[in-house]
Structure 1
Amino acid sequence: MRQHLRPESGTAIPAVPLTPAVSDPADVEREAGLARLFEVHYSSMLRLAVLLGADDPENVVAEAYYQIYRKWRRLRDTEAAEAYLRSTVCNLTRMRIRHLQVVRRHVEKPADELVASAESTAILRDDQRVLMDALQQLPPRQREALVLRHWLGLKESEIAAAMGISCGSVKTHTSRGLAALTQAMEARR
């Protein structure tokens, strides 16, 4: 154990570790697994939250990681952690948007006061802004289906699991969303 000297007397005192010792192997495995998940998927989960319309994507992603941390021991397959994380980000974003809609109904603010966060602006390039504006005008389910399909490249079954709907509904939302996006993009030209 490291020791420090007391300045006034020169006697040694034991150093207190900055982090508590993790002795349970399950805790060690959880910490390592979550660290790997964070390294590999944090930026993609942040972008997913931005594309789904979260006004505070960092908080949404942080909450998703917290939830998976709490439920790590109950995961049947730790390889499915990415899918669980993605689904959690989608659900938290949807809940956040619903909450904000209720709040905005009760607090009247001019629409021009709503400004995208600096993080959202930094992630997007200028040539994507027109597409993002059109994407934000879509109904939430259509936007989610399109983002999960075309940005993450998920299969219909994976999208259905993430959104909690059937594969047929995924096809419907994707088709309608693409049609609306096409129409909006053509109208802006």
Structure 2
Amino acid sequence: MVEPVSGPRAAFEIDELYHHRRLELVRLAVLLVDDVPTAEDVVQDAFAALYRRHGARLTGLDDPEAYVRRSVVNGARSVLRRRRTVRAYVPPRPRPAPPPEEHVLLKEEHQEVLRALGRLTTRQREVLVLRYWSNLSEAQIAETLGLSRGAVKSTASRALAALARRLEDPA
């Protein structure tokens, strides 16, 4: 084991600190971030920041070992925060593209209805599609969407009124 090079008045250079403590710091980082390449990057970034801030002679720094160790821990925390953020992100599901012949096969009136239906709220659109396309009863729609029957009735009523207004005035 290498003796500690830090102390109240220990004057040494960054390359000496790097050679004596790099592997120990990588082991520390591996235990924190759980993979070797990332741990090596964290340690390398800590030493680069130390050099940028204090130079090769580490002037103005009482305990360079503690400083770089703290930098490694903070770097590992940042990596873990980024991982948590990335894992929490759920990209929106892409809508399937309509078949190319859809617009040719549908009559203009049907296209107008589809456009108006697309401008309703999600809940209104779901209720109307389940009712008139899937031929579900109010009770089945309520169970499917987790709503009360009354909410299904009122949503369907408002959706039909909104659909009628949009079809009368498509602008």
TM-score by length of 2: 0.40
The structure with more radius of gyration: 2
